[in-house]
A and B are shown apart, each in its own frame.
Chain A
Amino acid sequence: MTNNKIFPAFLWMAIALLGAAALGGIALNRGESINALWFVTAALCVYAIAYRFYAAWIAASVLIIDPTRATPAERLNNGHDYMPTNRWIVFGHHFAAIAGPGPLVGPTLAAQFGYLPGTLWILIGAVLGGCVQDMVTLFFSMRRNGKSLGQMARDELGAIGGIAALIATLLIMIILIAVLGLVVVNAMKHSPWATSTVAATIPIAMLVGLYMRNIRPGRVLEGSLLGIILLLLAVAGGGWIDHQPGLRELFDHPGLPLAWAVIGYGFAAAILPVWLLLAPRDYLSTYMKLGTVILLALAIVWMQPHVKMPALTQFVDGSGPIFGGKLFPFVFITIACGAISGFHALIASGTTPKLLSNERDIRMIGYGGMALESFVAIMAMVAATVLDPGVFFAINSPAGMVGKEAADAVAKISSWGFPITVEQMSLLAQQMGEATLFARTGGAPSLAVGMASIFGSAFGQGMLSMWYHFAIMFEAIFILTTLDAGTRVGRFMLQDMLGNIWPKLGETSWYPSVLLTSGMVVAAWGYFLYIGVIDPNGGINILWPLFGISNQILAAIALCVATGILVKSGKLKHAWITGLPLTWLTLITSTAVWEKLTSNDVRVGFFAAANDLAAKLATGILPPEKAAVAPTLILNQRLDAVLAIFFVCLLWLIVLDMLRICVRHLNNKPVPPLSEIPHEVTRLEEAWQRD
């Protein structure tokens, strides 16, 4: 071995040893708090090794990336959507598109099992599952001129695959929007500061939209800077409003009116022109998101906070207060984004493949982009677990679980072995500028408290309430972007489907159709949001697992498409790279749905909960306010059961269809042909060299 080979070998050995030591430290630590820097170290070493060896091997030996091949961006260059772009710029676009609120909320909820299961799943799931899914989907879409996942499923597997992908995408969108809406509602509930700040983001976005359209057309950076300054002022202004009697009451609302406001907002945003609200809001939320994530990473490295949550809690047995269900399979369902998220396959088969200037960039953008998102999930896990476990459970446990009164809640949480007092919670609420922090479910408030405490210790304790509301605003602004954008995409998909029945409905600019289909999409997610708000168990308990299941079923569909293509390309012996995560996802989603249907635990089983409530209603032991909503809740539990069955049938349908295609191919029977675009030599590099 020569000298220039020995040094890298030693370097990678050192990284492997450091990573193993950090992971070992995290896994074996018991009874004492542990420095969060170990989490960061373990994560970075795992990503580095996986990226250097596994991703490089996939690129070179499985996908056989060809740097001399012209990409669609080069061949179809039209100056806007197809355009060869610098890889760092594509990385930025891709990361901004895939990183949403999911990796922040999922790990926060899964922290009820302790820090260890979630952390391990985030790391292992990402490097073996999520990153691979993103990378191969990006590659296959790029080799097909940037075709969408649905089109690839139809071309490569057949009509069944295509329809399954379409329906799964629409349904996941509806559940995703409902659950994110619920997270925002819970963050604004009885908080004039949070509500007024979130409300202010709407006119601010519109002002920025007008600026970019009329005052200084297309000057995106100027408009964004103006918007960010106004957003920061809105956070401070919310604090001022909170102290003005007469004014604060205007923004002090319980969950239900806030849910109606979010539903109304969603409808308005879907039918307004994009330049007025959606586009400018997205600019602001992207900068906020990137800025805050970088700030959080710096603060964690600088402050090195201690993780106080135990490695494992007793709730691995399924009795957890935040959501019911055992560690297996529910930790894998709860953390979808951050480990493996099917939604990414939609981005990786959308804009990104049309921008790549060279196939070489696939590894960095597909694999690297997901590794970075997984790192965001690790930071969310740190932010949730640096809180005192008692505080964490007090914020995240719904009133239906621990009782409505503060004294009951602290007694119950303390009895679990996580001591907490009413005084401690009141002081914390006061520091954060909130009336109460009990039962603020959904993950956003506890993440905000965690972030505020990390930022507070890094940049000054006096600003805790400001940091808290900054964090809430930051989460709300990009949740609302997802809500706007998701409703709009749902509308397009619905119009596309209805257009098959009556072509007029398929015209995306025909206003009656726009109103009708937007209304249908909003009504669908609005229904789940409404139920989530009136459910005394907090709604998150039902909606988040349903979201996780649907997101991972979408991932399974993407992995089916990829596995099918690998087998059809004669790469059967390497098909395990997608087959392995696919098997795991099929196992966990099927088990989760099975438990959701058959469990006798009313907090897990849909039918158990429906029957239990129906029996209580029949005997008349429910108090009148609960009896009034009971029939709706019973109906909803049954509907959720039907939905879960539907999801798992969809999954098995496409898995079996993929296996059928593979078996036919291996037996030399006709299958849909590979739709890869033929090889064409790139001229970009020589053009660049000439320049």
Chain B
Amino acid sequence: MAKRLNVLLLRGWHALRELSGDNAYELYLKHHASCRTDTPALSRKDFFLRQQQQKWNGIKRCC
């Protein structure tokens, strides 16, 4: 029972992190590693800034 609750809480936490973009950098690193490119991965800060800039270049929020 306690184990199941733990799993449930952990899942909720992962969903929250993904929904908010809290784990975006980890996803990026994972993708970067799988691409096998020679360019080094961006730092956490540079990635965050690039991501924010890109995000707000288009229509992101509605009436």
Contacts and interface: CB of A to CB of B under 8 A. Distances in A.
Interface in A471-494: 478, 481-482, 485-486, 488-489, 492
Contacts of A279: 52, 55-56
Contact of A218 (B47, B55, B59, B62): B47
Query: Interface majority SS on A: helix, strand, loop or mixed?
Result: helix
Interface in B1-60: 15-22, 24-25, 27-28, 31-32, 35, 43-45, 47-49, 51-60
Nearest to A551: B63
A275 B62 contact: no
B16 A221 contact: yes
Contact of B48 (A88, A213, A224): A213
A347 interface: yes
A489 B28 CA distance: 26
A80 B62 contact: no
B52 A274 contact: yes
Contacts, number: 114
Given A218-B25, A221-B16, A98 B62 contact: yes
Contact of A77 (B31, B54, B56, B63): B31
A337 B28 CA distance: 35
Contacts of B32: 79
Given A98-B62, A488-B56, A218 B48 contact: yes
B63 A100 contact: yes
Contacts of B15: 86, 88-89
B56 A99 contact: no
Size band of the interface chain B makes with A: 20 to 34
Contact of B54 (A80, A92, A101, A486): A80
Nearest to A222: B22
A97 interface: yes
B62 A180 contact: no
B62 A219 contact: no
Contact of B27 (A83, A102, A213): A83
A470 interface: no
Contacts of B48: 212-213, 217-218, 275
Contacts of B16: 221
B22 A219 contact: yes
A224 B20 contact: yes
Contacts of A102: 62-63
A220 B21 contact: yes
Question: Which of B24, B47, B59 is most buried by chain A, counting CB atoms within 10 A of its CB?
Answer: B59
A341 B63 contact: yes
Contact of B60 (A83, A337, A350): A350
B60 to A, nearest CB: 6
User: Nearest 7 CB-CB pairs, A to B?
Assistant: A79-B31, A217-B45, A218-B48, A102-B63, A221-B22, A274-B56, A220-B22
